Amino acid sequence: MKKFAVILAVMFLFVAAVSPATAAPIVFRFAGQSPPDHMATKTMNDMAKEIAQKTSGRVEVKVYPANQLGNYSLVMEEMIRGTVDMSLMSIASEFDPRLELVYVNGFISGYEDAKKVFVPGAWLPNKLNELSSALGVRLIGSYIEGMIGIGSTKELKEPLNPKVDKGVLTRVPNMDVYTLGAKAMGFRPITIPYSDVYQSMQTGVCDAVDGYPVAAAYTILGDVLKYWYHTNYSMEYLAIMVSDKSWKKLTPADQKVFEEVAKKYTLLSIDNAKAEDNKYMDLMEKKGIKVFKYTEAELKPIKEACITTWTELGKRGMTEELMKEFVKNLGNL
């Protein structure tokens, strides 16, 4: 009898040792593409700490910046499989061209617009989540790195008049949204790989670039740029995404923590983007780059020119149905 009591006591201690209160945490691998000292990586680290605190240690988030787990396309593939848990990276639109919806030119003109458009629960993040969820990846928030402008080695001709050819050959990202937008604003576009842009500008293969936020333009192209036009026709966007397989490992209470943290840092990223843009435009001016800033009223002509491309996008990968929804929800900002 005494032996039986001892066995029961040992069993009780064993059960207590592996109870939920002391169970090992769920570990999430959080993939990023930005360098370790970048604001986006700082955001990832802050999110990881806050999630650990608010889940009382039930979830541990390990941050892997600088493409340590692969580029955004590979990470998207791994999240679909469930081998990478979450990411703060560019959207891999090769899995669904409609995900390029977030890069459509001309639907916002500034940071206040961005807050309305990208707050979790608004139409655009809901639509992006609908599209990505069909692939097996949930979008829970957004990171706005900064507004996009035009950097150039030559002065533009009438930069705010879309009817005037700007007189420069301009590198654009290889997406319809950027090519059509550039043409509508009066630029002659050329597609050049991201890694070759600096040399192309240095050797005169192209005269200008679009698709760069201010910080990236300064840090990567600052030695070749002579002019910066802060035209705000698009923004550098990174998605905060979670593998659906990983999401299902979380309790409803912990899922809510993830959503609340993602919302907080979505809005904070927009405030940070404004501050970072101003910081790097000041650094441009100190470097001798001539910077042009504009009011939303001054930007209206090129915004309206970009809007004329939306119908054409509907005939391409975006689909007419999606673009009709887009115009209905975002056409009057």
Q: pLDDT of 110-130, one tens digit each? A: 898 899 999 999 999 999 999
Are 278 and 72 in contact by the 8 Å Cβ rule? The answer is no
pLDDT at 209: 97
Residue (of 91, 26, 69, 53) closest to 261 by Cα position: 53
Distance CA 233, CA 110 (A): 9
Q: Report in angstroms the alpha-carbon separations of 314 from 101, 144, 154, 318.
A: 10, 25, 34, 5
Is residue 10 over pLDDT 50?
A: no
Mean pLDDT to the nearest integer, 207-220: 94
pLDDT at 28: 98
Architecture of domain 20-330: 3-Layer(aba) Sandwich (3.40)
Q: Name the maximum alpha-carbon separation found in the chain.
A: 97
Distance CA 131, CA 78 (A): 17
pLDDT above 70 covers what percent of the chain? 93
Is residue 12 over pLDDT 90?
A: no
Are 191 and 174 in contact by the 8 Å Cβ rule? The answer is yes
Is residue 182 over pLDDT 90?
A: yes
pLDDT at 109: 80
pLDDT at 17: 47
Mean pLDDT to the nearest integer, 15-22: 48
Residue pLDDT, tens place only, 43-62: 999 999 999 999 999 999 99
Distance CA 143, CA 160 (A): 28
